Amino acid sequence: KFSQISRSYDIVCLLGRSYRCKCRPPARDQFQEELVIRPLHSGDIYASFQFRTLWDTDFLQERQKKVSHYRLFPKSLGQVLSKFSVRELHISFTQGFWRTMQWGQPFIPSPPGAELWVWFHHTVSDVDGNWKELTNVLSGIFCASLNFIDMTNTVQPSASFKPLGLGNATDHRFLRYATLPREIVCTENLTPWKKLLPCGSKAGLAVLMKSEKLFHSSFHSQAVHIRPICQDEQCTSKAWELRQTLNVVFDHYTSGQGKKEWSLFKMFSRTLTEACPLASSSKVYVDITDNPELFELSPATHLLSRAVVLGDRRTYSVYDLTRAETFGQLRSFNLLLRWKGDNMLRPLLHAERYVAGFGLQTGEIHTVIYNNHPYRAFPVLLMDSVPWYLQLYVHTLTVTSKSRDNKPSYIHYQPAKDRHRPHLLEMLIQLPPHSMTEVTVQFERALLKWTEYTPDPNHGFYVGSSVVSALVPSMVAMSTNFTQDQPLFSSFVPVKEESSYFVRVYTEPLLVNLPTPDFSMPYNVICLTCTVVAVGYGSFYNLLTRTFQVDEPSPPLAKRLANFIRRIRGVPLLA
């Protein structure tokens, strides 16, 4: 339908050129969609959707008129970018935790809950004010409680979270980072996310996104990433890129009676019938690196693509949805894969975190980072943001690798201010090869004011995930060239050098119990006190002030009559 309209516009333009009609300007935006399916060695299936809209425009330039004609780029996000002078925006909503040891590295990492980090333009004068308004506007767009992001959980990292887009200046005063580990992700977040896509959920790969199947999974993460990127290989001009990604890990192995056999229909309860007409490319990639004998893939395809992603060269079968042959005679595309073998994927870097200690007064946070490379050491940047009510004692901070002290080469610590800002701890640690590094710090739990407790305080309070950013040495040389035809999943992080790739690992969030008062206590105290006062004091008061009077009962009727007659006669009355 859309392609027909655009074709008719072209015809009208051709005809109308002689009549000087106002044709629409040549389209400077394009849309690409792709789906990558990767079987994981634990038997789960990892499906990663990426939708990218590229637009050659400038939201921030003052000399031009304000952008008002939106075609593929969603208007709500465009207005947000220009109003708040945003240079880069990354927001993700995740349900579940990514298990690096069993699943390897994700294409786009994200922590549990909601995470938002934004780089503002250097012309912004009041970054905090813009940040507060931006979180409110985004909470309305995504139906999430992002308005709970305020100064008490926002940090300004000094070395982590460098911009992923173009730019030279990296003054960290314009960066803000916040997470809400308690944030729930459900259909109400998926609905507005789907509405941002040019084809909505009516055509293309987005028809597969049925919430009943997507949320019945081990891991579900949807994200929006907006940044400026190079338009072409010479990189002389910028274009805005909007990436919407949805990563989901299905657990069909345990729920499917142990058979490693799945299809698109089984995963999503839908098959694909057409590509999005507005998309310039629409592809499905299936990871078939491990030994073709291990797989049985149908429908078969000859299109293969090799890409180096996350330091590993992998081979993918490609299905191009813009070609009608992919859909076959039934006009429906359903992928079937029967998997026979096992493969072990050892991730080179992974991290975990837990709380040690007992009682409700003190505790210890342990962050453990594993370097599984056999002979190379590499540096990692660990960023920890702890809420103010866990009072960290930084003098107890220890970093040990292989039971020896490991001194970080860079430490940035910003202490918390009660009810104002959280702790921020950033450290650059060199991880020795094939080792486990442990970072421990002791803390004390604070007693909150009684109005600051949530309605369910016995659930506990969440501490956001730690972020480990690292340049991991790669087994395979990565290409630093940037081409337009690169699959989306391998072009998210810009590659600067060939021998290592950048990766971000998130640890688990912590759930910590704070000393919780008994909220029914005031009611009980009032009842008890009033009872004691009434019974005790009341009796005492009566004893002191009560006087007794003798009161004669009224005489019976006969006596009363007799007295009455006697009074008349003038004779003395009876007793």
Partner 1 sequence: MSNDFLQMHLKAVMSCLVIFLYKVHTTKAGQFFSSGHTNNWAVLVCTSRFWFNYRHVANTLSVYRSVKRLGIPDSHIVLMLADDMACNYRNPRPATVFSHKNMELNVYGDDVEVDYRGYEVTVENFLRVLTGRLPPSTPRSKRLLSDDRSNILIYLTGHGGNGFLKFQDSEEISNMELADAFEQMWQKRRYNELLFIIDTCQGASMYERFYSPNLMALASSQVGEDSLSHQPDLAIGVHLMDKYTFYLLEFLEEVHPASQANMNDLFKVCPQSQCVSTPGHRTDLFQRDPGSVLITDFFGSVRKVEITKDTINLTSPVEPPIQRSGSGDIQIESLTYVDQLPVAEIIHQKPKQKDWHPPDGFILGLWTLILLVFFQTYGIKHLKHIF
Residues from 138 through 167 that contact partner 1 (CB under 8 A): 139-141, 143-145, 147-148, 158-159, 162-167
Q: Binding to partner 1 (CB under 8 A): which residues in 507-526?
A: 519
Q: Per CB under 8 A, does 407 bind partner 1? A: no
**Amino acid residing at 47:** A
Q: Is 133 helix (H, G, I), strand (E, B) or coil?
A: helix
CB of 436 to partner 1, least distance (A): 21
| Residue among 217 and 401 whose Cβ is closer to partner 1 | 217
CB of 562 to partner 1, least distance (A): 55
d(CA 219, CA 232): 35
Q: Binding to partner 1 (CB under 8 A): which residues in 414-443?
A: 428
Q: Binding to partner 1 (CB under 8 A): which residues in 463-502?
A: 469-471, 493-494, 496, 502
CB of 518 to partner 1, least distance (A): 13
Residue 229 · residue 242 · CB < 8 Å: no
Quick one: tokens of 172? 């960290």
| Selected range binding partner 1 among 314-322, 358-366, 453-461, 543-551, rule: CB under 8 A | 453-461
CB of 496 to partner 1, least distance (A): 6
Q: Binding to partner 1 (CB under 8 A): which residues in 370-399?
A: 379, 381
Site string for partner 1, 55-84 (x = CB under 8 A): --x-----xxx--xx---------------
CB of 402 to partner 1, least distance (A): 21
CB of 263 to partner 1, least distance (A): 21
Burial classification of residue 565, based on how many CB atoms lie within 10 Å of its CB (0-12 exposed, 13-18 middle, 19 or more buried): exposed
Residue 96 · residue 219 · CB < 8 Å: yes
CA-to-CA dists, residue 156 to 117, 127, 218, 413, angstroms: 10, 11, 31, 11
In the beta sheet, which residues pair with residue 154? 178
| Residue among 210 and 434 whose Cβ is closer to partner 1 | 210
Q: Per CB under 8 A, does 136 bind partner 1? A: yes
Q: Which of 40, 108, 45 is nearest to 344 (CA)?
A: 40
* Residue from the set 4, 168, 545, 547 that interacts with partner 1 by CB under 8 A: 168
Q: Binding to partner 1 (CB under 8 A): which residues in 523-552?
A: none
Q: Which of 105, 55, 493, 51 is nearest to 283 (CA)?
A: 51
CB of 69 to partner 1, least distance (A): 6
Q: Binding to partner 1 (CB under 8 A): which residues in 104-123?
A: none
| Selected range binding partner 1 among 23-31, 98-106, 298-306, 510-518, rule: CB under 8 A | 23-31
**Amino acid residing at 526:** I
**559 CB neighbour count, 10 Å cutoff:** 13
CA-to-CA dists, residue 46 to 42, 76, 219, 310, 387, angstroms: 11, 30, 9, 15, 33
Quick one: tokens of 23? 């044709």
* Residue from the set 101, 235, 324, 530 that interacts with partner 1 by CB under 8 A: 235
d(CA 268, CA 485): 27
| Residue among 140 and 538 whose Cβ is closer to partner 1 | 140
| Residue among 70 and 265 whose Cβ is closer to partner 1 | 70
CB of 237 to partner 1, least distance (A): 8
Q: Binding to partner 1 (CB under 8 A): which residues in 173-232?
A: 173, 182, 184-188, 191-192, 210-212, 214-216, 230
End-to-end CA distance of the chain: 116
CA-to-CA dists, residue 481 to 191, 373, 477, 478, 491, angstroms: 36, 26, 12, 9, 10
CB of 249 to partner 1, least distance (A): 14
Q: Per CB under 8 A, does 266 bind partner 1? A: no
Half-sphere exposure of 320 (CA within 13 A, CB side): 11
515 upstream amide cis, omega within 30 of 0: no
CB of 307 to partner 1, least distance (A): 19
- The residue count for binding partner 1 (CB under 8 A) is 71
CB of 64 to partner 1, least distance (A): 6
| CA dihedral over 254, 257, 260, 262, signed as positive or negative | negative
* Residue from the set 20, 22, 306, 404 that interacts with partner 1 by CB under 8 A: 22
| Residue among 166 and 337 whose Cβ is closer to partner 1 | 166
| CA dihedral over 309, 310, 316, 320, signed as positive or negative | negative
| Residue among 106 and 363 whose Cβ is closer to partner 1 | 106
Q: Where are the beta strands (DSSP E) in 295-416?
A: 295-298, 304-309, 312-320, 336-339, 349-356, 362-371, 378-386, 390-401, 404-405, 410-414
| Residue among 141 and 276 whose Cβ is closer to partner 1 | 141
